[in-house]
Amino acid sequence: MERTDFGGNLRLSDVGREVVLCGWAANRRNLGSLLFIDLRDKSGYVQLVSDHPEDFPDVRNEYVIQAFGTVRKKDVPNPNLPTGEIEVYLHRLVVVNKAVNPPFIIADKTDALEDTRLQYRYLDLRRPALQKKLRVRAEIVKAWHEYFDANGFLEVETPILNLSSPEGARDYLVPSRLHHGCFYALPQSPQLWKQLLMVGGIERYYQVAKCFRDEDLRADRQPEFTQLDEEVSFMDMDQILALNEGFLAKAFKEVIGVDVQLPLRRMKYWDAMDIYGSDKPDTRYEILLRDLKSIMEKTSFEGFKGDCFVKGIVVPGVAHETSRKVLDELQAEARKFSLKGVMSLKYENGALSGSFLKFMDEATQKELAEFLGLKDDDLLLFASHESRRAIDFGMGALRTLYGKKLGLIKPNTYDLLWVVDFPMFDPVEGEPGRYTAEHHPFTRPRDEDLPLLDTKPEEVLAYAYDIIINGYEAGGGTLRIYDHDIQWKIFNLLGLSDEEVARKFGWFIDAFQYGAPPHGGIAFGLDRLAMIMSGTDNIRDVEAFPKNLQAADPMSHAPSTVDQEQLDAVGVKIVEE
């Protein structure tokens, strides 16, 4: 089909040219003596015009059309469009295909509910804003290939049909027809396979890897997602971080024109938790967690005595508008993070006020105000908990809530940093001496912490690192254990018996008897990275055909029932609940 140009690319420099355009009629206005049609294609919009409407076929919204005409300068430019200084004067118009009236307005600003847009995703994809986000995603992948190809990496595909293994979420299972009663698992990540590639001497591997996790969904999570996955031998942590900083700088510059200052900052895990209340801190605003234990234990409030942590945040300029209803909402948010209660004090007219003052004498009030540097109309929120993580996460959630509510985050800014020195283990609450792996059981402990494995496992830190962008974990990785003895010690600390290890990981561990190199890697979440760089907070905006929050596809109606014949073939019986 003849086409000379994409309409959205035409500019003043094209005035006088004869063009043939193809696309969809986004809008049509017949004024009797003048006909205007906005043609939309993948490049954007351009206006078609004629002063002889009677010479052209009837066109309705979303008709597929072919337009022949001459580019000319507009008498009155439209500053809201890249093509706003020109228009195409029509010579001929062909209706290629008709369309019924769409169920919602196909424009960047639409009032359609998300599930309606997902039901008609093929129409939703016509919106330029959505296409722009998918273009950002594609350009990130392009930068990924270019960068790692140039650095001597080999792209290797790893299996989709895997053995089920514990990786922190539920597996999606696939029944086997040839082996009744047995199941494959879809990969939560290529973790084990990429480590085996290192044992196999590949040394530098990368992949755009499809992954699957059967977990509860939210705005930045999908059941199937894509990782930019990487593993490398004979590099230490500093080298791996520097290598990947180079990729991030290239991607940000080439995809969205943002210069990333290297090297990136590094923040220790416990510093991030204690100051920002998150292991993925957004450091673009200055509401910080403050340790109030030494002051609050002087009060008569029993909840602040003994072995506990007391933390608080100061929110500026909101004391006058903080009602009982607002405080109740804060309590509900805090309870999600195991905080039993959040207390508050207001600082107004140079003095503290609030019901908690009955537990504080004047000297303690003065010490608290001076310690925090309180100013008029400040709101102080504080709480206690026996768990350091619980108090940090709980107060961090309130920090995030107010950061968004008060608009403290400057738009179109990017905050990149590494969080490093993660704990190796996460103690099991209420079960002293029991631990789970903070990342996965193949994470390598820091060399200087190896003696603590026998005495204080909870204090062991790992060669683990997350890349944090604007408060999102955009990727993460670790150095891996390659020493057989250390690996078995970690398994024992995690409470895994020899039989469990053999059943879950035997095939994998066996490979490490044959000379495994020091190695480590990282995986970037492509969907999340594209979400951040395209300026949305909804991961479904950067996937062509995503699932909704119920992990369902309103368009294809997946998941669905299957024929009994298919179930019989794989030996599966559906049990009604």
- What pLDDT, in 10s, does the model give residues 367-426? 999 999 999 999 999 999 999 999 999 999 999 999 988 999 888 899 999 999 999 998
Q: How far apart are CA 532 and CA 474, in angstroms?
A: 9
Amino acid at 126: R
DSSP annotation of 102: P
pLDDT value at position 482?
94
Contact status, residue 352 vs residue 379, Cβ threshold 8 Å: no
pLDDT of residue 163: 87
Give the architecture-level CATH label for domain 285-405.
2-Layer Sandwich (3.30)
Superfamily classification of domain 130-268+462-482+517-564: Bira Bifunctional Protein; Domain 2 (3.30.930.10)
Residue ranges per structural domain of the chain? 7-97, 130-268+462-482+517-564, 285-405
Q: What is the DSSP annotation of 485-553?
A: HHHHHHHHHTT--HHHHHHHHHHHHGGGGGTPPPEEEEEEEHHHHHHHHTT-S-GGGGSSS---TTS--
d(CA 17, CA 69): 8
- Residues lower than pLDDT 70 in the chain: 166-168
Q: Which residues are within 8 A (CB) of 329 and not within 5 positions of it... i.e. 6 or more apart?
A: none
Provide the terminal-to-terminal Cα distance of the chain, rounded to the nearest Å: 55
**CATH assignment of 7-97?**
2.40.50.140
Q: How far apart are CA 68 and CA 39, in angstroms?
A: 12
Predicted confidence at residue 166, as pLDDT, reads 62
Distance CA 466, CA 514 (A): 30
Q: How many Å apart are CA 532 and CA 413, to the nearest integer?
A: 10
Give tens-digit pLDDT for 54-86.
999 999 999 999 999 999 999 999 999 999 999
**pTM exceeds 0.85 for this model:** yes
541/545 Cα distance (integer angstroms): 9
Cα 239-243-245 angle, rounded to 5 deg: 115
Q: Determine the pLDDT at residue 85.
A: 97
Q: Distance of alpha carbon 342 from its chain centroid, rounded?
A: 29
Beta-strand ranges (E) seen in 98-179 are 154-155, 173-175
3-state SS, one letter per residue, for 204-264: EEEEEEEEECECCCECCECCEEEEEEEEEECCCHHHHHHHHHHHHHHHHHHHHCCCCCCCC
